[in-house]
Structure 1
């Protein structure tokens, strides 16, 4: 794909820009490979992420045999020097920054380069080189200055890409939109073993992911997808996990099934599995060194500013939550879900979020997070709540505290961005969902899955919309969320593909909504 220049650069970069080339062991000297790598090692693509006004993270992971069973990508058991360069033009003429980093065998030959000294609010292009082999050229950008009010931000959000459910066509269409920033809200990969269903469009390599080798192999398989590679190469990403990066519906130190199989038998075994998953996740994502895992612990909640226009509070609703009450499915009038002491974020992250709200001077505050925030009542019987205990409905006290926190802090335009549920949703956030006349205090936008759930149904209509008037839209097709954010308002387009079980699905906007600055509530467009 040819990377275009949609935004006009306002001037060149200052001479003598500084850079920092890092890996998790950047203090060690670079090692020269004993003999050249004879095949291009860029089979897993490239990526960038976590932009700041002065820099960005550049990522790649070397592999010549991505599906090698040991998860090492067919690479030699030695460290390899990787050269990188950044330019202010797509042809890579006259690079403005360059350096070298070490791809360590111990880190599955992954590379994280934190580039500094770039100009704010600018497009840049980058690439890697190993022994004469060049990677593709990627497009990225820095965030605006903290005191700047950008005229616009094109931001897309995606989640739930199950290899076996279909092809990642939605990623290709997302890339065609050329966003400034991409949020991935979880379920980047799925942990299950390869299906035996002959009708499956694609099959996972290997067994269910438990070991470090298994998680590395699964990430490598996903990274071979050309549409995913193109989406990574078009813009910087902000990533957070949900459950399938580790184990379906896990909660802190508790797996979905603590009885079987054997790797979940004890808390120690599950935490060992979690450590393997976290390490592989870091190795395969464009994350900063602040997210390097320590055993079964890894901090991914973090904050990114986009000038005075937007603040992104990226949350982790898995690692610190209380175990789901009344099991992790849907339940009717679950008393535990209403316990105000229970938390989905943990107390430290909740306090961090409160402080972020109180200090925010952004026009728009986005919560990038994983599971449905707004109340979603399935109502099997009249007068009884029937809700999902894996979502914020299972942690009503947490939701009330977070909602009150942004109200108390005077957050101007709060917007919750969500994945997980494999459907598009648009919702008005309220403090009292039992009262149809209660004021709207925020917005939730839920991105459908990239593939999970299969093709979907264009004629589908969820009956719960009738008794959940704050739920404004739902659509059962795969796709992603595209937003345009300006000082005056936000427009959300729910982009949907007509099929994923075969290649070449077409994309269309299924519904659009707007939110005006300072005015609570979604307004349908068209």
Structure 2
């Protein structure tokens, strides 16, 4: 029988009190702007969730006349029908980096100049009797952010509810921050403030009009760039190495943050993925959670804000496009062919929904086949459009980007009302705008490589972009790319910029030997010899690279991890490349004429 004094639930007056705290959690929103609240793939109706929380329960069926208000801590009204309850038997910030490979409870991303998104996950703990809340009971999480690690004088704070509907994830946008400033933040259990997450570190970016020489306090602004992680093929040592051993201000991930495949782990790795090839929202949630069990990924998320490009393909389905993937589509045969037994659209919606819950990204536009690209202006030092697929034969209408993405990109700007609004500019228009406002560098984050070698299936699309850069004298363009699981550095055609493509965090390429170093170097030599733009190729090691920018130059340093079969911090720099502002090509000799792995064009005999 439901007893009158229940230790696991707090009560607050008024059903409407819960709605603002539910709305505070951005995970309840649709991943997309202006989409109806239909099904699990779009927005959750927080008013309905709040009403669900106030429906009569077993406790409400007991005659309330015999009870007094005093025995109920936190209960501020005798009107049981209006009581809203929250879980008070404790929570576990399951991604807190504690023992047993628990996950990182703190993650921040999409930094603007005065706002940033914070993320956590707060799973309710069972009572001593083993009870867990039913679906009607939310968890309340508080947060605060300030300029000192002790958070004694927070600049923003608040509370938000989370429920099973969003896998107990919490996404909040903190506001009123100063541009180009370091901050610390922390979450806590509303009902027990002593239960807290670790203190995380984040920062805002410089405001749009900040002179380039003043961005980041006059110090080089450094991006750590990653792509292609696969849990069962290696430990995520690169994330930890970057967080501990570089001065990265922002982490950039160019896609395949998770991998939908369920292949066996490599020998001696000892960490196979859970579940099958991803199909349902529970599949995607489980995989995201397991990836974040890696302790080095946890630490990296606690150390700096992240900008993530979503998605490449393995976030949803292998080699996906608008109508299907390599093993599924929406036909009868396509649904049954999928190893997961799901049609492609169902998988796509489930993957997008889970990604929206688990990652601190802002909403995007579904009006144009799930428009996902967006831009970040960091003072007058650089513009960073991300999620643009520019690995874009001769057919003029053929475009991997699609006409709207080729013409339309996503630019967040700060309005005079202090509210972020969104305007749509083309990729080309965005590049024009960055030049007109005096930005020194244009850094374009891409899913796949955009050099001549990788664009040959979409030559007309590639040429339109390159023509625009060349004909409009838009210089200092830097393309960052992932996807190929190998390192590539190129001068772009027509001397209008450079491209830095990075290897996988753990994912391995098909065409480089992973056991014979010399054979891998020989393969790189062939690639460099046969491709006119390619200046360096390397495919033996897994790792990442950093990009450090100043008003006069940029430096790209590639880091390799010696061994990813067990957790370690044994990494080293294998190559460093300089680009001077205005040159639009790599400084010579490329990489100073010396690399520790791979092949330089200057060293290859034609």
TM-score, normalization by structure 1: 0.81
- Corresponding position of 2:560: 496
Bigger Rg, structure 1 or 2: 2
Task: Select 2:87's aligned residue among 34, 40, 45.
Answer: 34
Instruction: Indicate conservation of the 8 Å contact 2:92/2:123, yes or no.
Output: no
Task: State the partner residue of 1:134.
Answer: 196
Alignment RMSD, CA only?
A: 2.8
* Equivalent residue number for residue 505 of structure 2: 450
Q: Is the 8 A contact 1:44 1:63 kept in 2?
A: no
| Aligned mates of 1:154, 1:75 — CA distance in 2 | 44
User: Is the partner of 2:316 in helix, strand or coil?
Assistant: coil
Aligned residue among 562, 565, 585 for 1:521: 585
Q: Match for residue 73 of structure 2?
A: none
Partner of 1:116: 175
CA deviation string 1:167-222 (max 9, x = no partner)? 00000011112411111000101111252765554201001101111011000100
1:427 aligned counterpart, secondary structure: strand
Query: 1:292 offset after TM fit, Å?
Result: 8.0
Segment of structure 1 superposing worse, 36-45 or 411-420: 36-45
Whole-angstrom distance in 1 between the partners of 2:466 and 2:543: 28
* Residue 231 (structure 2) aligns with: 163
Alignment partner of 2:323 out of 249, 253, 257: 253
| Change in CA separation of 1:122 and 1:464 when aligned onto 2, cut-off 3 Å | same
Matches within 5 A, 1:29-428: 32-42=85-95, 43-45=102-104, 46-63=106-123, 77=135, 78-130=137-189, 131-132=192-193, 133-148=195-210, 149=212, 150=215, 151=218, 152-176=220-244, 177-195=246-264, 199-240=268-309, 241-258=311-328, 262=336, 264=338, 269-288=343-362, 290-291=363-364, 298-317=370-389, 337-352=393-408, 353-360=427-434, 361=437, 362-376=439-453, 391-428=454-491
Summarize deviations over 1:269-311 as a string: whole Å, max 9, x none. 21111111111111111112x23879x9643200111100010
| More displaced 10-residue stretch of structure 1: 467-476 or 46-55 | 467-476
Structure 1, unmatched stretches of 5+, are 1-19, 66-73, 323-336, 377-390, 431-438
TM-aligned CA deviation for residue 412 of structure 1: 2.8
The whole-number CA distance in structure 1 between the counterparts of 2:198 and 2:183 is 14
C-alpha distance in 2 between matches for 1:255 and 1:35? 44
SS in 1 for 2:469: helix
For residue 48 of structure 1, report the CA deviation from its aligned partner. Answer: 0.6
State the distance in 1 between where 2:548 and 2:133 align.
Answer: 42
Q: Offset of 1:92 from its aligned partner?
A: 2.2
Shift of 1:403: 1.8
Question: How has the CA–CA distance of structure 1 residues 457 and 522 changed in structure 2, closer, same or farther, with 3 Å as cutoff?
Answer: farther
Change (3 A) 1:107 1:251: same
Distance change >3 Å, CA 450–CA 75, structure 1 → 2 = farther
Query: Do the aligned partners of residues 102 and 266 (structure 1) sit closer, same or farther apart at CA in structure 2, a change above 3 Å counting?
Result: closer
CA distance in 1, matches of 2:299, 2:516: 27
The 8 Å contact of residues 263 and 273 in structure 1, kept in 2 or not, is answered as no
Deviations 1:3-34 (A, max 9, x none): xxxxxxxxxxxxxxxxx944244875796423
Change (3 A) 1:203 1:292: farther
Q: Does 1:23 align with 2:26?
A: yes
Asked if 1 retains the 8 angstrom alpha-carbon contact of 2:27 and 2:356, the reply is no
Distance in structure 2 (CA, Å) of the matches to 1:64 and 1:478: 37
Q: What corresponds to 1:6 in structure 2?
A: none
CA contact (8 A) 2:122 2:139 kept: no
Contact 1:499 1:505 in 2 (8 A): no
CA distance in 1: counterparts of 2:335 and 2:547, whole angstroms = 42
Task: Assess if the C-alpha contact under 8 Å between 2:89 and 2:124 holds in 1.
Answer: no
Q: Per-residue deviation at 1:37?
A: 2.2
Asked if the contact 1:357/1:405 (under 8 Å) is kept, the reply is: no
What is the CA–CA distance in structure 1 between the aligned matches of 2:324 and 2:157, rounded to whole Å? 44
1:484 aligns with 2:548: yes
Give the whole-Å Cα distance in 2 for the aligned partners of 1:486 and 1:458: 35
Partner Cα separation in structure 2 for residue 201 and residue 369 of structure 1:
32
Which of the pair has the greater relative contact order for Cα pairs under 8 Å at 6+ separation? 1
CA distance in structure 2 between the partners assigned to 1:21 and 1:119 by the alignment: 21
Q: CA deviation at 1:115?
A: 1.1
In structure 2, the CA distance between the partners of 1:308 and 1:167, relative to structure 1 (3 Å rule), is same
Cα distance in 2 between the residues matched to 1:350 and 1:279: 25
Indicate how the Cα distance of structure 1 residues 396 and 157 shifts in structure 2: closer, same or farther if over 3 A, else same: same
> Counterpart of 2:559 in 1: which secondary structure?
strand
- Distance in 2 (alpha carbons) for counterparts of 1:443 and 1:91: 43
2:516 matched to 1:465?
no
Gap runs ≥5 in structure 2: 1-22, 30-45, 54-83, 96-101, 126-131, 409-426, 593-606
**Cα 1:520–1:61, aligned 2, differ >3 Å: closer, same or farther?**
same
Distance 1:266 1:226 in 2: 29
Q: Relative to total residues, which structure has the larger helix share, 1 or 2?
A: 2
